Amino acid sequence: MTGRVRVSAAMIVRNEERFLAGCLESLSGRVEEIVVVDTGSSDDTVGIAGRTPGVRLLHHRWNDDFAAARNVALDAASGDWILYIDADERLGLPKGGVVADYIDPGAVAGFVRFRPKTGYTRYREWRLFRSDPRIRFAGKIHETIKPAVRLLSAREGLPIVRTEVELDHIGYDGDQSHKHGRNLALLEIAVRADPDRVYCWHHMAETLAALGRVQEAVAAAREGLARADRDLSNDQRAPASLIVQFLARIEAELGGDPLDVIEAGLARMPDDHALWFLRGQALLRAGRPGEALEMAERLQAIDPEDLCDGLLAYDRAIFREKACELAALACLRLGRRREAAAQFAAAARLAPGDAAYRIKAIALNGPARVAP
């Protein structure tokens, strides 16, 4: 295997038989070592890891501390660099080769291009870093190496760079309800330990809402947003956006007008495309179709492939079929029927599996307009 450094992939697992084999396959031949730490699986996770060549399998008793488990993997890794990955993620190398080919050995860490969910754009994520005892995870949930990496970077004068390494996360594609109880207990500990970690407030709000505790969820979201307002750094921008999206969604579900929430979010983060899309929807509901159409056209002008190195991930559909749908509905409100038909036809081409777009285009302007 070629490359300037040796790379160890490090992961923790528990009952991941559905995902693990695919993850290990994506790593095979691309890293020098795979360290898998099992925290108490009762399915075939251990068997899959044990049968896979190149895997070093360790066991760690789960103690409600994600950082502690991940640090067991770091302690065992023998490589020069660490690729931190989960079983429900897949490694991609756009130019082929091995992970080492994408690493700058003069750096202390490298961002990967991370896709958090199928159908979303990529964003920068902290997943590659030097194997150094001074870099360890912290946090019982949403564990992170960011403070340790930044401290070492400052002390040693070593840069944190971007790489073309890709990771695709597929674990959010199904039902997550089985995790809510465990997560809530850990999140309550996390926000007490580090109340300025805005992402934990967002996750707590989403978890409480999923459990039917809506008022508590809104209170948690507002607390997180207040924390973000004190320091809207790059680390806080993404979770702050998620909180605004959450509050807007809840407001709409409760029959209110989310426009004020969205506008306040855009005042904080004027380049947030997800909030622009929500603004377009809210404007349409508020009887302002001309402004909603402007939002749709703004989104249609963006190529989601150009967003892979940003701080936020977006549902690609808001630039494509959902933007077309928003434009079509705005055109209908404006009495521009033929333009609405053309927008529904465009949505049908972008999302051929959704028959509703094609049917609406046909109803408005006839089948000839939606021929592929």
pLDDT tens digits, 310-330: 888 999 999 999 999 999 999
Distance, in Å, from the CA atom of 355 to the CA atom of 372, rounded to the nearest integer, reads 13
Helices (H), 105-258: 146-156, 180-193, 198-210, 214-230, 234-253
Please tell us whether the domain made up of 7-173 is placed in CATH 3.20.20.70. Answer: no
Whole-number pLDDT of residue 3:
45
Q: Where in the chain is the domain with CATH 3.90.550.10?
A: 7-173
Q: Which residues of the chain have pLDDT under 70?
A: 1-3, 173-178, 366-372
- Which tokens hold the place of 355? 């028959």
- β-sheet bridge partners, residue 168: 90, 115
In eight-state DSSP terms, residue 133 is T
Options 1.20.120, 3.40.50, 2.60.40, 1.25.40; CATH for 272-372 is: 1.25.40
Helices (H), the chain: 20-27, 45-51, 66-76, 146-156, 180-193, 198-210, 214-230, 234-253, 259-268, 273-285, 289-300, 321-333, 337-350, 355-365
Q: Between 273-285 and 259-268, two packed helices, what is the crossing angle to 10 degrees? A: 150
Phi, psi dihedrals of residue 112, rounded to the nearest 5°:
-105, 165
Whole-number pLDDT of residue 1:
39
What would the CATH number be for the domain defined by 176-270?
Answer: 1.25.40.10
Phi, psi dihedrals of residue 229, rounded to the nearest 5°:
-65, -25
166 φ/ψ sector (left φ>0, alpha ψ -120 to 50, else beta): beta
Other Cβ atoms within 10 Å of 227 Cβ, number = 21
Distance, in Å, from the CA atom of 221 to the CA atom of 24, rounded to the nearest integer, reads 37
Rg (alpha carbons) of the chain, rounded to whole number: 23
Residue 83's nearest CA partner among 19, 156, 157, 5 is 5
Q: Where in the chain is the domain with CATH 1.25.40.10?
A: 176-270
